Each structure stands twice: as C-alpha cells, then as structure tokens.
Structure 1
Amino acid sequence: MSTTRFPKSVFGVGEEPDPRFTLANERTFLAWNRTALALIAGGVALEAFGLDLHEGLRLAASILLVVAGLVIPIVAWLEWKQTERALRTGNALPGARSSIVLAVVVSAVGLLVLLGVLLR
C-alpha cells in the first residue's frame, strides 16, 4: 500500500492490481480528455465558421459543446478514481457516467443543428 502517490484516497487503499488494468484505466481517462478537447474544438468551430444556421440555435449548440468539453474531464477523473479504487480493493467496477453525458450532449447538439438548418 503506497501513501506517497496521488491521490491518496485511491492509492492509500487495497493492493496493487495487475498493471495492465491500471494502464487500461488510465488510457480510458486520457481518451475521455481527447474527446473533451474535440468537443471544445467543435463548439469553437461551429461558432467561428458562422454557418448559415439560425444564430441562436447555433450559439446554443456551440455553448453546449464547450460546456460538455469542460465537464467531461471532471466526470472522467471521478470515474478513473472510482475504477482504480475498485481495482485495488477487488470490488465491482462502477458504471460509466461520462458515456451518458456524451450521448445526451451529442443528441442535443444534433437536434439544435437540425432545428438551426430548418429555421434559418
């Protein structure tokens, strides 16, 4: 049990799991961060290119993408911690909340863009 690694709430409990599982958990966390960067870039691009969409709906979609890009890394960090703790303590792995966040955001943005096209 190591108490010098951060965060102590994760690494201060249980036993070291198989490194492959820990590294897979980290790769998943990093993938969610890349997804967040893509969401932010998409939100900026949607507004910067000024596509011929209903202005208010385009702005709403852009804001939603950027906000999701800000929220998803936080949710991913919490999921990484829960998963790593579960691996260390031998408990069941938690579900993924970030997946539902992403699904809702992408659906909402798609709906806003569709309405933006139809109402221009």
Structure 2
Amino acid sequence: MTEQKDPRVLFAAERTLLAWNRTSIALIAFGFLIERSGILIKVLSGAASNSISMQLTIVAGLFFILSGSFIAVYSSKQYANVLKTLTPSDFPTGYSGKWGMAVNLWVATLGIVLAIALLLAH
C-alpha cells in the first residue's frame, strides 16, 4: 500500500487549534475588561460604590481569564492527540506542527500570570 502525502488533515487540525487560540485570547481580554470595569464603576459612582459589585466584577473577570487559559491548554492537548495519529507522510517536508501548540501554551501562561497579577492587585 502506498502512502499518499495529504497534509489537509494536519492543516485542518491546525486551523481548529488556532480558532481555539483566538477564542481563548478573546475570553482573556473579555475577562480583563470585566475585571477592570469594576474600577471604572467605582470611579464614576464616587465614594458610594458597592463593594459587592466590585467583588463580583473581580470574580467574573478572573473566571473568564482562567477559562480562556484552560481552553488554550486543553485545545493544545487535543491537538497533540491529533498529531500522534498522523503519519510522517502527513507532514510537509521541514514542517513542524508544534508551533501552534507553543503559541497556545504561551497564551495560557500569560493568562495565568495576568490572573495572578490582578488578584494580587486587590
């Protein structure tokens, strides 16, 4: 049986990984926006700010940031599982499919660092 070089499966998996990467970045950015909106509400409302609403924006923002980080890690794991099922002929010559995973894990790391920084800032 001859092996046919067909990188379409690899590239489809990589497109899916990068779509999850964009989703995780969007969740992290949205979480940062929610977390920082508590400060804006406090400034605009003056001294009569509600501490419960401040705490709620902090918790909700951190939840979104950590959710985005989790999605980045989990999608990298799923992509690694797909890579294990491919044969060497599915990869174009000189192509490494692991850079997308590296970017996703870097986004997850930065998201976790951001969550810790925001948590320590309060």
TM-score tier, shorter chain, comes to 0.5 to 0.7
Tell which has more relative contact order, 1 or 2 (C-alpha 8 A, sep 6+). 2
Instruction: Give % identity.
Output: 36
For normalisation by structure 2, the TM-score amounts to 0.53
Aligned residues: 75
- RMSD (Å) for aligned C-alpha atoms: 2.5
Is the Cα contact below 8 Å between 1:32 and 1:73 reproduced in 2? yes
What TM-score results when the alignment is normalised by the length of structure 1?
0.54
> What is the match of residue 59 of structure 2?
60
The answer for unaligned runs of 5 or more in structure 1 is 1-14, 90-120
- The letter for the 1-side match of 2:14 is E
Q: How does 1:1-120 map to 2 (within 5 A)?
A: 18-50=6-38, 54-88=53-87
2: CA distance, partners of 1:33 / 1:27: 10
Please list every run of at least 4 consecutive aligned residues from structure 1 whose deviation after the TM superposition is greater than 3 angstroms: none
Normalized per residue, which structure has more helix?
Answer: 2
**Deviation string, structure 1 residues 7-58 (Cα, Å, up to 9, x no partner):** xxxxxxxx78621110000011111111111011001111222275822222
* Alpha-carbon contact 1:16-1:88 (below 8 Å) kept: no
Which of 1 and 2 has greater Rg?
Answer: 2
SS of residue paired to 1:54? helix
